[in-house]
Structure 1
Amino acid sequence: MWVLFLIPACAAAAYSCLRLVQVATRADVLEVPGSAQPSAAVGIGLYETAYLAGGPARVVELVLVLMAGRGRLHLAHTGWTTVVDPRGRTRLERALIEAIGPDGQCRTGPLRAELAAHPTVLEVGERLARAGLATPEPVRVGTWRAVRQVRRSLLLCLVLLTAALALSAPGTDDARAAVAWFSLPLVLTCGTLLMARVDVHAYTRFAAPAGMEVLRTARLPRQADRGRDPEQALLRAVAMVGPAALADERLRAALRT
């Protein structure tokens, strides 16, 4: 009887692991520069740093903090964003004001989601991907889905093994045989996940391996830097770690909504 549970377990494990290997093969052909290039050489500014560190959502957080800090937006901790100055200085600012709408006020949560999918924000990632610093969206999403599928196959194998053991008398030859045969898909999925952790996990992040090197060299601003240019130091910290870098609790609460 337990063989009926073993067949789908092996099929799911084999299929998901093969799919992950295929995805990993496609990810490995990404052209990664031999060494991280200087940020100026590839046009790495605050928005590019934000994308590498946290993707489109981090870019949106950065532009919201920048405009709020300069008095062009009001971010309420109650979850509303209000336009104070409707003149956008950059394409991202104009996209943000356009997303808020003609009323000049909207909920912050939906605004962040809409702006994160805006072509102006996505263009930042596309430019970094062409430079070899960001993981292309199809590769990142495909890798993440493939890893998740192997995890689900591992869970399925455990559930089916439990069901097989429940139908077999404890300590019998059937129970021991079920454990022995189920160890094959379990070892396969666990081994594949370990391989993915070492070789593939990097491609589930927004930054490609070369982009991670750029982030390591960017570093958080030191105390001396904050004294010289506090606004730039704050914006760089937000780009690197997100709203957690903000000292203003109300502004952090506004960005959590």
Structure 2
Amino acid sequence: MVWVPLLLVSLVVTGVACTRVCRDAVLVDARGPGEGGEELTVVEAAYLAGGPLRVADLALVSLHQARLVLLAHTGWATVVDGNGGRDELERAVLRAIGPGGQSPVRAVRPLVAGTSCVRALADGLVARGLALPEAERRTSVAGGRGLLGAFLLTLVLAAAAVLLVPEGVRVPVAAWFAMPLLAGGLCLLVARAGGAGCWASPSGRRLLAGLSSTDPMTALARRGTVVLEPALRAAFRGHDSRHPS
């Protein structure tokens, strides 16, 4: 009966993790509805879909399309016109690239994501009920990771239990472990479908779902750099850290 303690551990760990995720989901859904009847800007959509780094990606691509910044497939950003920023976000990108006029894209992205204009964007979306407060989002992320960890732990315990018992009782033992595995797997699916750990509140997600992806910049805001053409997408992978010259 050495497998029984392993089963009890998996049941307790999975139960706690599922309860935590369900509690977090209820708290998020209990938030008051956000401001309705208005459209999201593409920058707001980028934040709600992917957070501050997605906003940085959108600004870099926008500057590249305006020929104010060149994004090379080597992973470097080069300023073409340092005085050409059309708004505070684009000017923040130019400042993040630095006085030398060239920086790796992977170094520019977090600098832009941490600027005051991006924080102001986030605060405004939170105030309107469209984005989750940072503390609430971190709690949701931690809950999702805990649930995934519980699921993986149960898999390991199940494998260990099956190996520790005689061959004739392995099927019944595996069937007992199927219960916490099924519960954990279903909770993972529900959490993923419900946007656990994402940046948008339920109201924000509804607005995102109503956006059309036919516009390339809107598609970039919603789905990230995966929608870009290969040469431009390579700039964000940053596969080459050498100076482009």
Counterpart Cα distance in 2 of 1:92 and 1:243: 18
Q: 1:165 aligns with which of 152, 162, 165?
A: 162
Q: Residue 81 of structure 1 aligns to a residue in which SS?
A: strand
Q: Residue 219 of structure 1 aligns to a residue in which SS?
A: coil
Q: 1:110 to 1:190 in 2, by over 3 A?
A: same
TM-score relative to the length of structure 2: 0.81
Identity fraction in percent: 36
Q: Is 1:3 paired with 2:27?
A: no
Q: 1:65 to 1:171 in 2, by over 3 A?
A: same
Counterpart Cα distance in 2 of 1:100 and 1:240: 25
Q: 1:235 to 1:156 in 2, by over 3 A?
A: closer
Q: Quote how far apart the aligned CAs of 1:106 are.
A: 0.8
Contact 1:134-1:211 at 8 Å conserved across structures: yes
Q: 1:25 to 1:79 in 2, by over 3 A?
A: same
Equivalent residue pairs, number: 236
Match of 2:91 in 1: 94
Match of 1:105 in 2: 102
Q: Quote how far apart the aligned CAs of 1:187 are.
A: 4.6
Judging by fraction of residues, say which structure has more helix.
1
Counterpart Cα distance in 1 of 2:63 and 2:150: 46
Q: Is 1:256 paired with 2:241?
A: no
Q: 1:186 to 1:151 in 2, by over 3 A?
A: same
Contact 2:144-2:197 at 8 Å conserved across structures: no
Counterpart Cα distance in 1 of 2:11 and 2:222: 43
Q: Which moved more, 1:74-83 or 1:21-30?
A: 21-30
Residue type at the aligned position of 2:188: L
Q: Quote how far apart the aligned CAs of 1:48 are.
A: 1.0
Match of 2:211 in 1: 218
Contact 1:37-1:214 at 8 Å conserved across structures: no
Counterpart Cα distance in 2 of 1:181 and 1:27: 33
Q: Is 1:55 paired with 2:51?
A: yes
Q: Quote how far apart the aligned CAs of 1:111 are.
A: 1.0
Q: 1:238 aligns with which of 200, 220, 231?
A: 220
Q: 2:181 aligns with which of 177, 186, 190?
A: 186
Match of 2:123 in 1: 126
Larger Rg over CA atoms: 1
Q: 2:191 aligns with which of 181, 185, 196?
A: 196
Match of 1:225 in 2: none
Match of 1:24 in 2: 25
Q: 1:156 to 1:244 in 2, by over 3 A?
A: closer
